[in-house]
Chains A and B, each alone.
Chain A
Amino acid sequence: MPDGKIRAYYWDIFTALAEIADLLDTTHADYSFPSEDEVECIAALHANLVFKDGYRLIVHSWLDATADVREYDYAYVYLDEEGNRIFQYDDAPHHPELSTHPHHMHKGRKPAEGVDKALPLDVPRVDFATVLSKIQRLKSQTR
């Protein structure tokens, strides 16, 4: 049975999200965030955050709670108001040449065909709070 670690993790990220509530369009039909019961039960986070400027953050992440809770098999895709990718973090093991393998990022629009260039991480670790902080930083720079 769940031991409460994922629930505690949930509340850490949920309170982090609440701190940027003024940036979010929580009334948008596509806005979606799970309850603590869902996250604990499925050990995963699926969210679609819609921001007031029309940008979105799509989150799919599995939570490993065997020790401290860590995110694996994740993808964080940040899109502009027209659906063009701004950045993406994921840990698909497709780029062993990168120093942060399997964790990596993509920047800019996803190419319609051809190679989607991957880059090493520009953050020490990818998790919900880290990605949210990055978005918050980007938005404060463009204000």
Chain B
Amino acid sequence: MKENVIPVVKLPRADIELTELMARFQGQPVGFQIPKLDGILLLLPMEDYSFVTSAIQARKALPVRPSATPAEYFAETVRVLRRLERKHGMTSAEFYRKFQEGALQEGPDDYWEWRVRYKSLLTMQKQFGFSEAEVTDA
């Protein structure tokens, strides 16, 4: 997709000519919210239509873990980090610094997860303003 988000335009009535919409939005992916229509009518360039079709097929073909809220993902991240900190006897910040300096070997398999979970923690703190202190051990 060229655009990350497809804009949705609310149409005031349902009897607007399709040719009028196409002339206005041709070449741009756009959704139309129409009164009395339960859903969004999409107008897509061909390449985006192929992508959307592939995405729908992928969603049907492959299972994914259930979604949660940002606060739940943050709490899970903190709990995983605390478990790893207890197991390896150092803070996540200390682990990350030592690992990146080469003071720790590639070693245990859970180092890979630890490294990424720590980066997620920092990302979520910056993006959502969450605090570790608010997370209790489950």
Give the B-binding residues of A (Cβ under 8 A): 1-5, 7-8, 11, 14-15, 17-18, 21, 24, 26, 31-38, 41-44, 46, 58, 60-62, 72-75, 77, 90, 92-94, 116
**B1 proximity list for chain A (CB < 8 A):** 8, 11
**A5 proximity list for chain B (CB < 8 A):** 4
Q: Are B55 and A14 in contact (CB-based, < 8 A)? A: yes
**A4 proximity list for chain B (CB < 8 A):** 4-5
Question: What 5 A-B pairs are tightest by C-beta distance, nearest first?
Answer: A4-B4, A18-B58, A75-B112, A37-B67, A42-B120
**B67 proximity list for chain A (CB < 8 A):** 35-38
**A74 proximity list for chain B (CB < 8 A):** 116
**A-B pairs under 8 A by CB, number:** 106
Q: Are B109 and A26 in contact (CB-based, < 8 A)? A: no
**A18 proximity list for chain B (CB < 8 A):** 54, 57-58, 61-62
**B119 proximity list for chain A (CB < 8 A):** 43-44, 62, 72-73
Chain A: minimal CB distance from B18 (Å): 27
Q: Are B113 and A60 in contact (CB-based, < 8 A)? A: yes
Q: What is the predominant secondary structure among interface residues of chain B facing chain A?
A: helix
Q: Are A15 and B55 in contact (CB-based, < 8 A)? A: yes
Of A2, A11, A33, A75, which is within 8 A of B62 by CB? Answer: A33
Closest to A17 in B: B62
- Is B131 in the interface zone, CB < 8 Å from A? no
Q: Are A26 and B62 in contact (CB-based, < 8 A)? A: yes
Residue pairs across A and B with Cβ atoms less than 8 A apart, 10 shown, are A4-B5, A15-B55, A21-B62, A38-B67, A42-B124, A43-B124, A44-B123, A62-B119, A73-B115, A94-B106
List B82-138 residues whose CB lies under 8 Å from chain A.
Answer: 99-100, 102, 105-106, 109, 112-113, 115-117, 119-120, 123-124, 127
Of A3, A37, A90, chain B has the most CB atoms within 10 Å of the CB of A37
Q: What is the predominant secondary structure among interface residues of chain A facing chain B?
A: mixed
Chain A: minimal CB distance from B44 (Å): 14
**B73 proximity list for chain A (CB < 8 A):** 38, 41-42
Q: Are B113 and A77 in contact (CB-based, < 8 A)? A: no
- Is B51 in the interface zone, CB < 8 Å from A? yes
Q: Are A31 and B123 in contact (CB-based, < 8 A)? A: no
In Å, the complex CA distance between A138 and B113 comes to 26
- Is B63 in the interface zone, CB < 8 Å from A? yes
